[in-house]
Amino acid sequence: MTVTTSERPIEELSRAKRLKALTSATHEGVDRSIMSAASFADLEKYGRFLAVQYLFHRDVAALYEDARLQALFPDLSVRRRLALVAADLADLGFDAPEGSDPVFTADAIDLPMALGWLYVAEGSNMGAALLRKEAAKLGLSDTHGARHLAPAAEGPAPHWRTFTASLDALELTPQEEERAGQGALAAFARVQSLVDARSA
Ligand code: HEM
């Protein structure tokens, strides 16, 4: 079956759009699980959502420090959100969760895979606009408890376009392209497993 977005064959789309089409089912699964876990119903459930965000952003933290990736995405180091999630946990009196070792460490970064993971981490800012409104109903804000959901100064859409412009401009071999896709799927699978582990 040929996957299409807006009736165009997937191979004609930009890389970011291809990744979106490739991961749309897994993204929907994550959305559904987070909302059906009532993550914004009370602070205790929100704390579980923060634990997911913390462990996911800890997985990708090394990517934001990688000199090769910083050269490809010039504003990468200001995009990291792990410290903001940690501050949100601290605001609400939660300990940082224990988890398995981070997926990426400084000396073990497969660049094409990393692109797929970064696509997911950066793309999640787009959904954050919606989640920020839910967090506000719990009394949380950009300076207390929901710092990591705050939009970039220039707005989420321009912030995302800067990232996707760099992502789309990269030259990749077909094998590297394939690994970027695997990275994006693995990132969503990781988020799904983190959510599932906390919504028993
Ligand atoms: C940690 C969990 C999440 C991750 C990793 C994630 C990831 C992503 C990614 C990668 C994109 C960019 C899609 C693209 O345009 O290429 C995106 C967009 C979006 N996400 Fe999520 N997401 C998460 C949770 C949620 C939740 C819970 C909701 C709401 C129920 C949500 C709603 C949206 C919306 C509305 C967009 C914008 C879609 C568009 O502009 O076409 N996301 N998210």
Give residue-wise pLDDT tens across range 137-196. 999 999 999 999 999 999 999 999 999 999 999 999 999 999 999 999 999 999 999 999
Residue nearest to atom 42 of ligand 1 (CA): 127
In the structure, what pLDDT confidence band is assigned to residue 2 with cuts at 50, 70 and 90?
very low
146 CB within 6 A, ligand 1: no
Confidence of residue 107 (pLDDT cuts 50, 70, 90): very high
Q: What is the CATH number of domain 22-197?
A: 1.20.910.10
CA distance 200 to 195: 9
* Token digits of residue 12: 């004609």
Question: Residue for token digits 């804000």?
Answer: 141
Q: Is 123 in the pocket of ligand 1 (CB under 6 A)?
A: yes
Residue 4, SS3? strand
Query: pLDDT > 90: what percent of the chain?
Result: 90
